[in-house]
């Protein structure tokens, strides 16, 4: 049994049982030595054999979780005890710790049968050795009843320990889920804060620079160095577009209200259609995926479609999500120019699309999945994400 808060109780009960068996065996040996008789030597030798068998069984049952082995050992121990009881009536007291062994190794019903049978054996042995008395008959049955009650209590404690362990495991798992949820909420809140900061500072500044340069360009069209002003304005416009894309990427999606499919279809109708790209979304409005997985797939789709718009010169793209019992497959396919995936993701080192593909790979790897790119020049590109159905990192 795994360690539980009740483990010290079980250890104490087992230790007490061992001490009781040793003490009662010592009483048998002492009586045989102090009150010598014709069978005293045999009684002492058999008592030591019983004690050795008991010690061997304690080691075997601790090292080997084998019920058959334990029951065989218990049968040998019972046979030795019966022989000792035939020689000395003092061995009758050893039946009390044997009661608990029967209940532990044979189960409730067969253990109870064994307890009752050995009780009858003890009563008969005491009657044969010393005559029939009330104490010789009632005493063993009272001991058997007490053993049954204590055994039932032990089994109830063991059952409670199992239930407590299961509850503790469930609570730890729930705590881990809550920690992951709080972490995800913190990440989303920080992303939203960064988006607001970029929008209110960098994006607004670039927008002002662009308008000022445009005004300067229109104020004096024939001035020297106008081409530099125009280049500066175009650069500011490009950086403003990048800043707005960054803000959009950082802003948490409204997946709670629309689901992954709904958000992708809204992006296809509004943002992506404005870029002359027809995007078909084959994703259910409600998918059985955790929110952090839906968010990750949405980010991957946004990055993939952004690359399609900027570099693929495609007319159409298709976003598909398929699920089975083990995996979730999410793909973004386009009919663009394609590229050779072996040359570093189709981009020179340092370009944004190369970084975006690497970032997507890292995101998928953290989720325990895999990302593949199937493309070739002239036949479009298919980006596929495969995630385990459980969706746990």
CB 105 within 8 A of CB 97: no
At residue 138, the pLDDT reads 80
| Residues 217, 221, 224: CA angle, nearest 5 degrees | 95
At residue 247, the pLDDT reads 66
Q: What is the CA radius of gyration of the chain?
A: 40
Those residues of the chain that have pLDDT short of 50 are 1-2, 64, 345-353, 391-393
Return the DSSP state at 39: T
CA distance 69 to 194: 66
At residue 281, the pLDDT reads 94
Is residue 286 classed as helix, strand or coil in its secondary structure? coil
Could you state, in order of their start, the residue ranges of all structural domains in the chain? Answer: 7-132, 256-393
Return the DSSP state at 200: I
| Residues 234, 309, 231: CA angle, nearest 5 degrees | 10
Return the DSSP state at 252: P
Nearest to 56 by CA among 100, 21, 84: 21
At residue 371, the pLDDT reads 94
CA distance 369 to 393: 8
Sign of CA dihedral 386, 388, 389, 390: negative
Which stretches of the chain are DSSP H helices? Answer: 7-34, 40-63, 67-87, 95-130, 134-198, 204-219, 226-250, 255-267, 291-307, 352-366
The pTM of this model reads 0.42
At residue 345, the pLDDT reads 47
Its CATH architecture, for the domain 256-393, is 2-Layer Sandwich (3.30)
pLDDT in tens, 319-349: 999 998 889 999 999 999 988 887 654 443 3
């Amino acid at each position: 049994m795994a360690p539980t808060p009740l483990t010290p109780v079980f250890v104490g009960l087992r230790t007490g049982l061992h001490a009781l068996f040793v003490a009662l065996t010592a009483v048998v040996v002492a009586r045989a030595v102090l009150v010598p008789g014709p069978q005293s030597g045999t009684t002492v030798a058999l008592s030591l054999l019983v004690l050795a068998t008991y010690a061997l069984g304690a080691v075997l049952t601790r090292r080997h979780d084998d019920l058959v082995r334990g029951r065989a050992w218990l049968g040998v121990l019972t046979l030795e005890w019966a022989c000792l009881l035939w020689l000395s009536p003092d061995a009758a007291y050893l039946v009390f710790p044997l009661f608990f062994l029967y209940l532990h190794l044979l189960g409730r019903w067969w253990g109870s049968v064994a307890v009752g049978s050995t009780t009858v054996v003890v009563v008969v042995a005491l009657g044969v050795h010393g005559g029939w008395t009330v104490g010789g008959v009632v005493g063993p049955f009272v001991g058997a009843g007490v053993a049954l009650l204590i055994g039932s209590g032990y089994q109830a404690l063991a059952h409670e320990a199992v239930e407590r362990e299961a509850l503790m495991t469930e609570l730890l798992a729930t705590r881990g889920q809550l920690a992951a949820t709080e972490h995800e909420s913190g990440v989303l809140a920080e992303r939203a804060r960064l988006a607001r900061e970029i929008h209110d500072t960098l994006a607004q500044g670039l927008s002002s620079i662009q308008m000022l340069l445009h005004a300067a360009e229109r104020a004096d069209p024939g001035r020297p160095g106008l081409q530099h002003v125009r280049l500066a304005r175009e650069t500011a416009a490009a950086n403003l577009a990048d800043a707005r894309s960054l803000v959009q990427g950082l802003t948490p999606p409204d997946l709670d209200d629309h689901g992954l499919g709904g958000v992708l279809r809204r992006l296809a109708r509004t943002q992506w259609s404005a870029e002359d790209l027809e995007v078909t979304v084959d994703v259910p409005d409600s998918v059985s995926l955790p929110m952090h997985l839906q968010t990750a797939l949405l980010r991957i789709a946004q990055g993939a479609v952004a690359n399609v718009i900027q570099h693929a010169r495609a007319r159409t793209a298709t976003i598909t999500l398929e699920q089975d019992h083990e995996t979730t497959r999410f793909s973004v396919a386009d009919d663009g120019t394609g590229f050779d995936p072996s040359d570093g993701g189709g981009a020179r080192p340092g370009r944004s699309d190369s970084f975006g593909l690497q970032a997507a790979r890292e995101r998928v790897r953290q989720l325990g999945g895999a990302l593949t790119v199937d493309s070739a020049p002239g036949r479009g590109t298919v980006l596929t994400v495969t995630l385990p159905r459980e969706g746990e990192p």
